[in-house]
Structure 1
Amino acid sequence: MDFYSINSLRENHAGWSLLRAQNAPLALTFFMAAFTGPNQRNLGRQELIDVLDDVLFGLRDSEGGDRFPRPAGEYLDDWAADDRQWLRKYYVSGEDEPHYDLTAAAEDVVRWVENLRGRDFVATQSRLTSIFAVLKQLVQQSETDPEVRLAELQRQRDGIDAEMQRIRDGNIRVMTGPEALDHFQQLTALARDLLSDFREVEQNFRKLDRQVREQIATWDGSQGELLESIFDNQQDISSSLQGRTFQGFWDYLMSPQLRTELQDLLQRATRIEALANAESLNALANLHQDWLPAVEQTQATVRQLSQQMRRLLDDKVFLENKRIMQLIRHIESGALGTREAPPSGAFMEIDAPSVDVVLPFERPLYEPSRKVLVDDAVETADDADVDASALFGQFFVDKERLQANIDAILAGTEQATLAEVTAAYPLSQGLAEVVAYYQLATESDWATINPEQSQRLSWQLPDGSIREATIEQIIFGRPA
């Protein structure tokens, strides 16, 4: 980031404006008491007013009655205004009372202020362990050599066998108190960061929907082109990295087996003796229950955006039908006016009705169909005159080999085009191999076919001649 981008954030970012506000301590205290402290979302206006009144009552009692003179409702309206955007104000279907939720920018500021007070115990060992675990998984799952993968799995198996033997011998190593506290602090920090990410994901979905609705409002093309553009945008949302990782988290959380395993691990973690005096230990058992409402709200936001888009399209269709009816009524009124006062001269000419006359003798007589005699004698061919080499000249395109070529290229980069893949692994089976690459791209969730760009592929025939093909650009991406 340069000076100008930082200065733009200082002038326009909602989080920066919260830090610069005069009532920032009051707002942050209220946000912690209402949202981040109890981990709540989507609170009604009256409930928030009650919480803010309690905060204001305590501050006025200690700071003086004239310290914060405005009522709680005015503070809420001010913090949810467009120039603040610290709170998101919206209405729930079927309710007249507005609801409020903390924005992603405001929550980032709350987390940052909480970290400013410092910590008596900073988790370092658990972070290093997490880095090694993630790094090992990244390297091992990206390895394409089967021998290396098997050697790594064998090493892990030997380590597990050795650990099992030590346990059988009575040598059981238990995590020490500092180590347990270290991992517990790392766990709670990751859980808080994950909950704060949901608000940002929801905000990004809402931003994409706003762009689509602006496109609908200003569209001047045909209805079919508009629908195609909307479906492409929805596909971009679901196939983006954020959409795919969020859907993967949702599928993981909705798995009954994995959810039961997670709940069992959380319950066992609360019974660890070294964590008996740790803060927020009881909240650890309900960690997955805090995730479910947040993820469900994000899913509900996506469904609500789809419903709003449907209503926008229905409104556009209604307006078009209304215009058609107005044109029909205008034509009908013009016809009635012309009937009352027809113009002079020939107004309209039409062909007079007539009857097609066909004489009986002009009709052809019946003619029976002719029978065709077919000679069905079968002659035995001489095998010596038949060239059977064409039956054995077929070949098989191994798609697993082509997928291995793609994975090998993506091991060193985030994405690669088909031209780059074929440059490293030349085409050996001609056009059939290109078609196989096409099939892999259409079946993969991590590949994109760009019809607006083209790429040229070439291969060499057995006789030494060169063949070239110009196709649409195919981009393969590394799976998350």
Structure 2
Amino acid sequence: MRALLQEHPAWVLLRSRNAAAAVVLLDRNLGASRRRLPVEQLADRIDDDVPELRRAGFELPYSGYFYVSEWIDEGVLVRRRAAPHAAGEPGVETVELSDGALVAIRFVSRLSKPHPAVTPSRLGAVLDGLHRLADEADPDPEARLASLLEQRAALDAKIERARRGDDEPLPPDAAAERAREVLALAGDIPADLARVRTELERTDRELRRRLLESDGSRDTFLDDVYRGVDHLAESEAGRGLVAFRDLLRQAEHTAQDDVGRVLGSVHLGPGEASALRRLLPTLQDAADELTDTMAGLRRALQRMVRSGELPAERALRRLIGEAQDAALATAPDVTPGTEMRLTLPVGAVAPRSVGGLTPHNPGGEDAEAPFAAPAPPPRAVSLSALRAMARDSEIDVDELRGHVNSVVDHAGRATIASVLAAHPATQGAASVVGLLTLGEQHGTPTGDREDVSWRSSRGVARRTALPQHQFEEHVP
């Protein structure tokens, strides 16, 4: 229980310092039908929402990228790479809510909009389910036959009342309450599907570990993977996904008709009607996506075995294990603060996540090669266009150096705040980072802090406090 308290994303999110604000931000930007966003877009959306929450009294001192990174580290968000839109174009790194985050948000929504504790329809559903369970699980065939005859008699009586016109529909209030209960039950399905994805990925890691720990002989498990046996589909999560997909496919047309009939006869609010209308498409999209995920994991396992990569993977695993053993053996003699005399120079190019790298994917034996579009003819590129491309990837230090020297010539001294006041940050936050770097290299720290403001590339006003550095001479 202690490990669950410290590691489960639902409890981690609910026990965090800014739990209320986090739930609002995550539900607003990744809830409802929008289940996935690129990392940069989610960070920008949070930057736009944070001022509103600050005015409401929440202490949120950091930017959107900080919170997104923290949620990824805590398991609240799951990073994935979206499929490329065209041949040769890399996919975008996206994030989505983990199963634990969905559970936490669902829990909070039930606190803010509690469902009535007891309703006749809910109690009737429980009693009907209990009665059916007792009938179907009864080992006595005579008792099961008597129950079926009783159900047929009740159904015949209901049919006869309908023929006479005595069978009245469900009252409007009861019908609306029943529809809300259906939506409440359907609201738990996204968290269930997220748990299925997590379990599939855990099973895939276990299968890979089993392959790497084998001695290299052609054992039965290795042969099964080589022949294409789908161990993922045979797992508990895989069987549940296949059953869910088959049931959804069988009931697709009937359920669509039912949704139309309910919307035509039951009075629901706009939000409830919209949620009911997109219920089936959302479930179908989620089931198709999970099926594609399982198929992709299966093909990756087959490629791992058929391509002959296992010996190299086993050697790499052995070397990593030896390095870990050496580190553990050295740990008692080397303190955590020991200087390693290793430096990593920080360049002007903005760092990117490892998840943003696009490794070469040769494809599997059963995958078709993508259509290769013809190379476009070469065209002339102007010097201004090349300079604009360079500014998109690197900080324009020459421009910042000129801005600092201009303020020093005019006022005799300059700080980052005075430079930004005289010259706008043409590269947004990158210009601020570049000025701070120049201040650390060529300025004199005063020991104070100063407020600096600028506008982002989207035109949103930004403000922060930085250590004050004073320029008294030209920056070379």
Q: 1:45 matched to which residue of 2?
A: 39
Contact 1:15 / 1:106 at 8 angstroms: preserved in 2? Answer: yes
Distance 1:8 1:251 in 2: 36
How far apart are the structure 2 equivalents of 1:195 and 1:130?
A: 22
> Does 2:296 align with 1:307?
no
Structure whose CA Rg is larger? 1
Q: Say if 2:13 and 2:101, in contact at 8 Å, map to a contact too.
A: yes
For the residues of structure 1 that align with 2:310 and 2:238, how far apart are their CA atoms?
32
Indicate which of 253, 259, 265 corresponds to 2:258: 265
Tell me how far apart the structure 2 counterparts of residues 19 and 212 of structure 1 sit (CA, whole Å): 33
Alpha-carbon offset, residue 62 of structure 1:
4.5
In structure 1, which of residues 47, 59, 62 is the aligned counterpart of residue 53 of structure 2? 59
2:77 to 76, 87, 103: 87
Select which of 278, 290, 297 maps to 1:298. 290
Matching residue's letter, 1:198 = L
Pick from 134, 139, 144 the counterpart of residue 139 of structure 1. Answer: 134
Q: Distance in 2 between matches of 1:47 and 1:80?
A: 15
Alignment-mate amino acid for residue 42 of structure 2: L
Please give the residue correspondences for 1:425-440 in structure 2 after superposition, counting only pairs within 5 Å. none
Contact 2:38–2:93 (Cα < 8 Å) also in 1: yes
Secondary structure of the equivalent of 1:80?
Answer: helix
What secondary structure is seen at the aligned counterpart in 2 of 1:271?
Answer: helix
Looking at structure 1, the residues matched to 17 and 217 of structure 2 have their Cα atoms a distance apart, in angstroms, of 51
For residue 250 of structure 1, report the CA deviation from its aligned partner.
0.7
The one of 247, 254, 263 equivalent to 1:252 is 247
| C-alpha RMSD of the superposition | 3.1
Change (3 A) 1:187 1:320: closer
Change (3 A) 1:315 1:69: farther
1:337-348 equivalences in 2 (<5 Å): none
Match of 1:345 in 2: none
Equivalent residue in structure 2 for 1:149, among 144, 151, 155: 144
Inter-CA distance 148–218: structure 2 relative to 1 (3 Å threshold):
same
| C-alpha distance in 2 between matches for 1:52 and 1:228 | 49
Q: What is the Cα deviation at residue 201 of structure 1?
A: 0.8
Partner of 1:376: none
Shift of residue 259, structure 1, vs aligned partner? 1.1
Partner of 1:109: 104
Q: Deviations over 1:216-268 (max 9, x none)?
A: 2333231334515758997664345543333122112123xx21110010111
How many Å apart are 1:299 and its aligned residue?
Answer: 1.0
Number of equivalenced pairs: 310
Aligned residue identity for 1:304: G
Give the one of 204, 216, 225 matched to 2:199: 204
Structure 2-normalised TM-score?
0.59
- Matches of 2:149 and 2:215, distance apart in 1: 63
TM-score, scaled relative to structure 1: 0.58
Q: Percent of pairs identical after alignment?
A: 25
* One-letter amino acid of the counterpart of residue 174, structure 2: E
- Structure 2 CA distance, aligned partners of 1:120 and 1:242? 30
Q: Do structure 1's residue 193 and structure 2's residue 188 form an aligned pair?
A: yes
- For 1:236 and 1:123, how far apart are their aligned partners in 2? 43
- Find the residue that maps to 1:22 and give its secondary structure: coil
Aligned with 1:218 (options 194, 213, 228): 213
Preserved contact between residue 98 and residue 194 of structure 2 (Cα < 8 Å): yes
- In structure 1, what residue type is equivalent to 2:192? D
CA–CA distance in structure 2, aligned partners of residues 244 and 71 of structure 1: 42
Is the Cα–Cα contact under 8 Å of residues 88 and 102 in structure 1 kept in the other structure? Answer: yes
Counterpart contact for 2:232–2:298, Cα < 8 Å: no
Inter-CA distance 62–131: structure 2 relative to 1 (3 Å threshold):
closer
> For residues 382-421 of structure 1, what are the structure 2 equivalents within 5 Å?
none
Give the equivalent residue in structure 1 for 2:66.
74
Q: Structure 1 residues 107, 234: CA separation in 2 closer, same or farther (over 3 Å shift)? A: farther
1:173 and 2:137 aligned: no
- Please give the alpha-carbon distance, in whole angstroms, between the structure 2 residues aligned to 1:143 and 1:232: 43
| CA deviation map 1:378-427 (0-9, x unaligned) | xxxxxxxxxxxxxxxxxxxxxxxxxxxxxxxxxxxxxxxxxxxxxxxxxx
SS at match of 1:88: strand
Give the CA deviation at 1:32.
0.6
Structure 1 SS opposite 2:187: helix
Cα distance, 1:105–1:222 mapped onto 2, change above 3 Å: same
- Give 5+ residue unaligned stretches, structure 1: 1-5, 324-480
Amino acid at match of 2:256: Q
Q: Distance in 2 between matches of 1:234 and 1:52?
A: 44
Q: 1:141–1:278: structure 2 CA closer, same or farther, 3 Å change rule?
A: farther
8 A contact 2:200–2:237 mirrored in 1: no
- Separation in structure 1 between the aligned mates of residue 116 and residue 229 of structure 2, nearest angstrom: 45
Deviation at 1:8, TM superposition (A): 2.3
Distance 1:226 1:119 in 2: 50
Query: Structure 1, residues 330-354: CA drift from partner, whole Å, max 9, x if none?
Result: xxxxxxxxxxxxxxxxxxxxxxxxx
Q: Give 1:338's aligned residue.
A: none
Q: CA deviation at 1:10?
A: 1.8
Name the CA distance, whole Å, in 2 between partners of 1:20 and 1:181.
35
| Aligned partner letter, 2:78 | R
Q: Secondary structure at the match of 1:17?
A: helix
Distance in 2 between residues matched to 1:69 and 1:269, nearest whole Å: 47
| Match of residue 119 from structure 1 | 114
How far apart, CA to CA, are the structure 2 residues paired with 1:113 and 1:53?
Answer: 23
Counterpart of 1:291, as a letter, is: L
Aligned residue for 1:223, secondary structure, equals coil
Distance in 2, matches of 1:124 and 1:220, equals 60
Q: CA deviation at 1:103?
A: 0.6
Match of 2:274 in 1: 282
- 1:163-206 deviation line (CA, Å, top 9, x unaligned): 12222333122212332233122101110112220001110111
